[in-house]
Amino acid sequence: MNMATDFEPIIRLSAYIGGGIAMGLGAVGAAIGEGYTAAEANMAVSRNPKISGDIFKNMLVGQAVAESASIFALVIAILLLFLETPSAGELKAAALFGAGLCMGFGAIGSGVGSGFPGGNACSGISRQPAATSRLTTNMLIGSAVCQTPAIFSMVVALMLIFMDFGKAPTFPTWAALIGAGVSTGLAAIGSGYGGGLAAGASCEGIARQPESVGNVTTIMLVGQAVAQTPSIFGLLVSFVLLFKSFPESTALSASMALLAAGLSTGFGGIGPGIGNGMAAEGAVRWVARNTEHAGDLMRTMLVGQAVSQSTAIYAMVISLILIFVV
Amino acid sequence: MEAIRHTQKKYASRAMVAGICVALILILAGYRTLGKGVMLGAVFSVINFVLIGATLPFNAGRSRKQATAVSFGSIIFRYAILAFPLVIAARGKSFDFAATAVGIFMVQIVILSEHAWKMIPLIVHKRS
């Protein structure tokens, strides 16, 4: 690394801690997701050993896609450990630490969530071998969409790593940078997990009623899209914290207000993300049993998600008050 | 396990071909470090994919907790290997880091592209 001499130790320290957090937390979600897929595959093989080859194939492909979130975390961790940051100021230390937090937290939900479609597809193949191709395709779509919150986290982490904060005042900008990291990172947990619930239920639904694949996939995608909203709120607050200029203030309260803004939307997004995923899971599961009422189920899901979303909106409003008013 | 070997062979060979083609195009266009980065990443993406298949027998026939523990160990081991090309790209100037990062997703890109390609006729048929 080639850093400004005065701040080199603290920047290096932050980058190493950030890298450790990014990879450590990033591995947790994918491991749980892959473990779930493997466990369901075991059950599927014991139920229908004759098609164990198809089940293992599906498990292999599902696990390969499911671990994308933790590979994002690996990329960020390596960047944090080896990136050259020439002439970086002390704010870079906060930015690199925030980047590690953002990617580490952000990979958890997507890692766990993308294990659900993999596991349920294996289970579905054992019940309905004729629908193997449809189940694998649906599993991959669901699993890929689950990665979106982790991608948001990676984008914010990259911005924190590469943006130049040289002209900004150290106080309170350091708190804004860490707040930007935790806002997207934490909010992504719920959205990733919730999206996985919807994708998992869709595989179960297709196995139950293969002809319902069109309705099931459509409702899954709509449900997943709405489940991503809390992580978009997190992303929005992160962008405000990254791009807004804050007047210099050595008062601790000014810094804490910006950190709290990130924490508010971050924590506030976890529950609604999971709740939205549960609403989508229910709609997807039941539309496979009753395709004639797909429209009614979609409307019920959307209304339920809108209400579940309200707490994330409250959290975002508090964040914006903390940023612009306090 | 024959089915796993067949799947691994199919996607690993496609990922390698895709990596070589992209790398050749980039090198011929004058972006040598980008091309080398994609190729390096693709090679390790394939190694990672082969290792996922190699650890599958350790998952089979175990409880959910044991399968999760084995997966966690497998991830740590495979990511230590996946980190190798990224460290080389980050420390030296021969390989572009961003291109190497894209390269390590080559197997995932090939899997998703194949299924997206299969869906196109279905969507066209449905619309007509």
Q: Which residue has the tokens 């790593």?
A: A161
Using CA atoms, how far residue A235 sits from A94, A148, A160, B41, in Å, is: 18, 12, 13, 29
B117: closest CA of chain A, how far (Å): 11
List chain B residues with CB under 8 Å of A79: 90, 97
Q: Which of A195, A165, A192 is nearest to A177 (CA)?
A: A165
* Domain A5-324 top-level CATH class: mainly alpha
pLDDT digit string, tens, across residues B7-23: 889 999 999 999 999 99
Bigger pLDDT: B58 vs A8: A8
Q: Give A-chain residues touching B72 at CB under 8 angstroms.
A: 27-28, 31, 35
**Predicted local distance difference test score (pLDDT) of residue A284:** 94
Residue A57 contacts B where some CB pair is shorter than 8 Å = yes
A56 to chain B: which residues are within 8 Å by CB?
1, 3-4, 56, 60
What does the pLDDT average to over B92-101? 93
Contact B67 A27 (CB under 8 A): no
List, as ranges, residues 51-110 from B with C-beta within 8 Å of A. 52-53, 56, 59-64, 67-72, 74-76, 79, 82-83, 86-87, 90-91, 97, 101, 104-105, 107-108
Tell me which long-range contacts B89-98 makes (C-beta under 8 A, separation of at least 24): B89/B37, B89/B40, B90/A78, B90/A79, B90/A81, B90/A82, B90/A83, B91/A82, B93/B33, B94/B33, B94/B36, B95/B33, B95/B36, B95/B37, B95/B40, B96/B31, B96/B33, B96/B34, B96/B36, B96/B37, B97/A79, B97/B37, B98/B37
Using the Cβ of B2 and the Cβ atoms of chain A, whether some distance falls under 8 Å is answered with: yes
Please list every residue in chain A whose beta carbon sits closer than 8 Å to the beta carbon of residue B118.
137
Whether residue B127 lies within 8 A of chain A, CB to CB, comes out as no
What's the gap in Å between the CA of A42 and the closest CA on chain B?
A: 6
Q: What tens-digit pLDDT sequence spans chain A (326 residues)?
A: 444 457 888 999 999 999 999 999 999 999 899 889 988 998 999 999 999 999 988 999 998 888 899 999 999 999 999 987 766 788 999 999 999 999 999 999 999 999 999 999 999 999 999 999 889 999 999 999 999 999 999 999 999 999 998 889 999 999 999 999 999 999 999 999 999 999 999 999 999 999 988 899 999 999 999 999 999 999 999 999 999 999 999 899 999 999 999 999 999 999 999 999 999 999 999 999 998 999 999 999 999 999 999 999 999 999 999 999 97
Query: Closest partner residue to A27 among B62, B67, B72, by Cβ?
Result: B72
Higher pLDDT pick, A324 / B67:
A324
Nearest chain B Cα distance for residue A173, angstroms: 28
pLDDT of residue B76: 82
Question: CB–CB of B8 and A56 under 8 A?
Answer: no
Provide the domain limits for residue B41: 2-127
Task: For residues A72 and A109, give the distance between their C-alpha atoms in angstroms, rounded to a whole number.
Answer: 13
The pTM of the full predicted model, rounded to 2 decimals, is 0.91
Which member of B49, B53, B115 has the closest CB to residue A137? B115
B86 and A144: CB-CB below 8 Å? no
Reported ipTM: 0.82
Portion 258-297 of A in contact with B at CB < 8 A: none
Are B79 and A23 in contact (CB < 8 Å)?
yes
Q: What's the number of domains chain B is made of?
A: 1
CA quadruple B116, B123, A59, A291: dihedral sign = positive
The pLDDT value recorded for residue A204 is 94
- Phi and psi angles of residue A82, each rounded to the nearest 5 degrees, phi first: -120, -5
Residue of A nearest to B41 (CA): A75
The residues, ordered by sequence, that sit 6+ positions from A199 with a Cβ below 8 Å of its Cβ are A113, A114, A116, A117, A138, A139, A141, A142, A143, A145, A146, A220, A224
CB contact under 8 A, B3 and A54: yes
A-chain CB neighbours of B8 within 8 Å are 60
**3 state SS for chain A:** CCCCHHHHHHHHHHHHHHHHHHHHHHHHHHHHHHHHHHHHHHHHHHHCHHHHHHHHHHHHHHHHHHCHHHHHHHHHHHHHHHCCCCCCCCHHHHHHHHHHHHHHHHHHHHHHHCHHHHHHHHHHHHHCHHHHHHHHHHHHHHHHHHCHHHHHHHHHHHHHHHCCCCCCCHHHHHHHHHHHHHHHHHHHHHHHHHHHHHHHHHHHHHHHCHHHHHHHHHHHHHHHHHHCHHHHHHHHHHHHHHHCCCCCCCCHHHHHHHHHHHHHHHHHHHHHHHHHHHHHHHHHHHHHHCHHHHHHHHHHHHHHHHHHHHHHHHHHHHHHHHHHCC
**Distance (Å, whole) CA A2 – CA A203:** 50
